A and B are shown apart, each in its own frame.
Chain A
């Protein structure tokens, strides 16, 4: 092997405080050299583990993660104990995950009055209102339609809302940004069914309704519905689970998570938006001038670092990989930059493909930590040219009461001892 130098010494700096050129990941040889050298340790005879000496367990019909991964759980805050279930959230533990797809058991959810157990044989989807032919569809009939598979993120508009607050969050990225997940969704394009019902030219919006004990209704622009909205039946290859909308949910790529109506049972075409509780009392942004921004539907580009992130303990100076997620509800991630000096200098991260529109993109950047204090940030630019703003810029534009759609830069401080915490830059 050509590379016989000390680990890290041949790596080209890309920005301040130890950030290295992402080329490390582009040339497998260079990385192998670094890791190989670092992995060399003093000789010690290997022990023979007990699991090679006896047969393992029989295969299960439906498998579970290793018992040693028990910490990888969604957080379910113990809120409103009096009227359980009420409205509740399960957050994705991004600090423990890699890649761009969230496992189904860890996909986030927000429910407003519990998870219904819907019998698919008794479930119907109705399309009515400003259509030529009101129609009803059984679940079985929808399964016979041409299916489309697409990777998309779903993000609650309230995700990261705590970052509008005056104090940094004492918590992990799960608490900060856990109302976000990404999956492969398979279903029937809504446009196919709307064409079948025949759209009245007066229709400009539609109202979608869930068939649970909340009957959640949201207005969706018809132009969006005809563009890329899907009635999703499968998530990551298996039928959508009850907490994510079984037997079917609406998928409204890049728009507020709340609009991705679970347990979808009714679509009504209308002239204008219906001004429901979830698009007035909730999911509108109270701005600094006292006015509320309503129907701000698109989720703008955002990114955050998942490792190292709060809860992670650095294990001494040396080479680390910074890993994180970036996405945009308006298009595709074009580039992600990372900083180790609080935004003074930036290095381009490597994007781990495929890089898909309105889907999570995994980014990685090599970082040689010198063991001293560091301030980590990531910043995404999407293909519309939009650059993720700083938290200060966002607060200046919106005030601190906007509550929803926080997409400012997240900052983590690495202390000299290797402890990682959320801070404001």
Chain B
């Protein structure tokens, strides 16, 4: 082999080697992933069956959440879960579910996967719907009797829904 063709062969070999893969992934079905897949999209995709309203939520909240988020969601030691949009305009720019969050579905997604902090992923879907309803009610976004389920939750319009601008793939000035 001439030097030139040897170099050409080496150049060709490099990217090919990098792309080579032993293909060791094993097939799995979405049904088998379901116990891990707790994602809720902003349009409600992924929301499970179940339902709950603020009254049930208040009882669960007082028992399982108030120790960290304060009674009625006022906060301390952990984040306040209540506060209206005027808080964003204060010098500190206080961000809460009520003042900042663009989608109500995030409350369900995050509470179900990560709360209560000392016992995550122990709440039933009904409990998560009820807690979500209670947090929304505390923020004056829904009423006392409004039932949250897979249909109603994505329809809740959050006060700061239009407060976000997507930067990617651009950048801030």
Contact = CB atoms under 8 A, between A and B. Distances in A.
B11 interface: no
B159 interface: no
Interface string B76-101: 01100000000011011101010011
B113 interface: yes
B42 interface: yes
Contacts of B169: 221, 223
Most buried by A among B25, B77, B91, B97: B25
A407 to B, nearest CB: 10
Contacts of A138: 24
A281 B163 contact: no
Given A275-B103, A398-B172, A215 B21 contact: no
A128 B33 contact: yes
A50 to B, nearest CB: 51
Contacts of A297: 167-168
B102 A280 contact: yes
Interface string B30-50: 100100111101100000000
Interface stretch (A286-294, A344-352, A360-368, A410-418): A286-294
Contact of A126 (B23, B33, B97): B33
A387 to B, nearest CB: 13
A281 B101 contact: yes
B66 interface: no
Contacts of A295: 166-168
Closest 7 CB pairs of A and B: A135-B25, A401-B93, A141-B24, A215-B113, A296-B167, A295-B168, A277-B110
Interface of A: 80, 82-83, 86, 112-113, 126-128, 133-138, 141-142, 144-146, 148, 192-193, 195-197, 207, 209, 213-215, 217, 221, 223, 265-266, 268, 270, 273-277, 280-281, 284-286, 290-298, 300, 330, 397-398, 400-401, 403, 405
8 contacts: A214-B114, A215-B114, A223-B169, A265-B36, A270-B41, A275-B41, A291-B165, A294-B164
